[in-house]
Structure 1
Amino acid sequence: MKKIALLLGAMLACSLTFAATVDTISIFSNSMHKNIQCVVVTPNSYQHSQAHYPVVYLLHGYSGNYGDWVKSTQSMVKSADEMNVVVVCPDGAFGSWYFDSPVDTGFKYETHVAKEVPAFIDAHYRTIARREARAISGLSMGGHGALYVAIRHSDVFGAAGSMSGGVDFTPFPKNWDIAKRLGSYEANKALWEQNTVVRAVDSLKNGTLAIAFECGVDDFFIQVNRNLHSKLMEKKIDHDYTERPGRHNWNYWGNAVQYQLLFFRDYFRKQGTAQQ
């Protein structure tokens, strides 16, 4: 029994040694004139080397915040550690949809995520400060935000993904505070449409971004994701699209994020920016 106890103790010590570090930091937003919190996950190897690392930005959903990814699924933290990437989880507030609102000047989360957060992270962490070493993804509202921001800022991000993303919110004119950010759908249809991912891809050229997105077949966003896939196929834009059994919940996203991180790791390897 003593030998078994010693063995278990050694195994526990090893598991604790090889673990990512999770920090909560505050980033001042010049565009919104306030401090905004953010989670940064660094792999275990970051603490023991002077190497520079690629970064994956993960965005939360409508009713969530910057802490959701680490609070709701340990699979992300474990995968970040195993794949040797830094993961950054910015805050997108309650219902920002990650665009700069023309209605509420206090909501400039496109600017925050696309410019302010990467600039801060590159200045304070050992990152590879190039688009070829930056990827962005998210769930639900954050899935929309990740693709929307990446398409509009392909000089910042080289790869983008989405999990259960609200990639076209025009079929849902009464939901999720979108009218607070864009005005009513009835009076502002053109404004609504131009702030969706499905419209943003009109400006996208093949090879600009490495794209992977997915949705559960029992998710209420499944049809808008299928529509996005069809549009990308029509435009001959290379991308990975996946449907699996699943609903709009953490059981699905905890699994999906592992595939997203694998896709990004492969992208970083192809770009020569992966940390081995």
Structure 2
Amino acid sequence: MTRTIRGCAFITVFFAFLGSAAASEPLQAISKASRDENGFLVHTVKSSLQAGTVKIRVLLPDDLNSPKKYTVLYVLPVEALDENRWGNGLLEAKQKGLHNKYGLICVAPTFSHLPWYADHPTDKGIQQETHLLKVVVPFIERAYPAVSKREGRLLVGFSKSGWGAWTLLLRHPDVFQKAAAWDAPLMKDAPNQFGMGPIFASQENFERYEVTKLLAQRADLLRKTERLVLTGHGGFREHHQQTHQLLERLGIHHDYRDGPNRKHHWNSGWLEEAVGLLVEE
């Protein structure tokens, strides 16, 4: 792969063929970047881990300096494909100037199915966790001047993607540095609401991602440094309060804000605070 940086010009075509470098690598084809109506760089992605074509949207700092390496903020969607009933997280980051304020490369992938950031046990087209880990993250770190280690990878989301931000960090603490969740159903103990069923497929598979179980498993590691952010609420205040109490019992360092109450939406004003807490040293 070749990369050329002139302002925002990137040659970013990346192919990984199943059975070439490693048999476990997903088949993928990622396009060169084009500009969308919001000014984002958009790559279309064909991946064996997703059903159909998905995208990776990228927001770069205005003063991008090519020798420098930038922290990447993964702005995780709550809807499938390009749906925006609950707003646009990457657009909110741009409108608040978070990419410039904190010097972040902001990345928003899309998924072919409702994103719960899990791998379906049998459906090869619903491998959301693996798609993010093996397609999205490696591509960003090849195509853009991104920090290619744990300390340079942050996660933020709400509702489903708040759950996803936390489960990704809890299941892969060596990959991601910090995760922020806003108004997320973190105390769920069964895949029986919010479109969970078709993604997790079974209670057994769900329990591999169950936040409360993962917190208990990772408690020793997470007592060392503050890597979890839990802020505000819209409809899941009880979940947040119970999660905070569990974290306290487990002795896990975390940044907690009980409120304010806001609309359950990307654009209700919560993102700026959450990202600010993520980038704090």
* TM-score of the aligned structures, taking structure 1 as reference length: 0.76
Letter in 1 for 2:259: R
Tell me if the contact between 1:151 and 1:209 (Cα under 8 Å) persists in the aligned partners: no
Structure 2 vs 1, CA of residues 265 and 198 (structure 1 numbering), >3 Å: closer, same or farther? same
User: Higher mean Cα deviation, 123-132 or 112-121?
Assistant: 112-121
* Aligned equivalent of 1:111: 130
* Selected match of 1:136 from 155, 173, 176: 155
* Selected match of 1:54 from 71, 85, 88: 71
How far apart, in 1, do the equivalents of 2:93 and 2:152 lie?
23
Tell me if the contact between 1:167 and 1:197 (Cα under 8 Å) persists in the aligned partners: yes
User: Higher mean Cα deviation, 27-36 or 130-139?
Assistant: 27-36
* Selected match of 2:257 from 238, 242, 245: 242
3-state SS of the aligned residue for 1:88? strand
Kindly tell me the number of residue pairs found equivalent between the two proteins: 238
3-state SS of the aligned residue for 2:280? helix
Asked if 1:176 corresponds to 2:194, the answer is: yes
Tell me if the contact between 1:96 and 1:109 (Cα under 8 Å) persists in the aligned partners: yes
How far apart, in 2, do the equivalents of 1:130 and 1:155 lie?
9
Asked if 1:39 corresponds to 2:53, the answer is: no
Gaps of 5+ in 1: 1-19, 268-276
Letter in 2 for 1:221: F
3-state SS of the aligned residue for 2:279? helix
Tell me if the contact between 2:115 and 2:161 (Cα under 8 Å) persists in the aligned partners: no
How far apart, in 1, do the equivalents of 2:93 and 2:206 lie?
35
* Aligned equivalent of 1:265: 279
Deviation at 1:49, TM superposition (A): 4.4
* Aligned equivalent of 1:69: 89
Structure 2 vs 1, CA of residues 125 and 254 (structure 1 numbering), >3 Å: closer, same or farther? farther
Decide which structure has the larger Cα Rg and report it: 1
Asked if 1:199 corresponds to 2:213, the answer is: yes
3-state SS of the aligned residue for 1:44? coil
* Selected match of 1:159 from 175, 178, 196: 178
How far apart, in 1, do the equivalents of 2:243 and 2:113 lie?
25
3-state SS of the aligned residue for 1:97? coil
Tell me if the contact between 2:72 and 2:106 (Cα under 8 Å) persists in the aligned partners: yes
How far apart, in 2, do the equivalents of 1:110 and 1:228 lie?
23
How far apart, in 1, do the equivalents of 2:230 and 2:161 lie?
12
* TM-score of the aligned structures, taking structure 2 as reference length: 0.75
Tell me if the contact between 1:27 and 1:120 (Cα under 8 Å) persists in the aligned partners: no
Q: Which has the higher contact order (CA 8 A, sep 6+)?
A: 1
Taking the TM superposition and a 5 Å limit, the aligned residue runs for 1:203-222 are 203-204=217-218, 205=221, 206-207=223-224, 210-216=227-233, 219-222=234-237
How far apart, in 2, do the equivalents of 1:77 and 1:127 lie?
21
Structure 2 vs 1, CA of residues 40 and 75 (structure 1 numbering), >3 Å: closer, same or farther? closer
Q: CA RMSD in A?
A: 2.6
Tell me if the contact between 2:66 and 2:145 (Cα under 8 Å) persists in the aligned partners: no
Deviation at 1:85, TM superposition (A): 0.7
**Identity value in percent:** 21
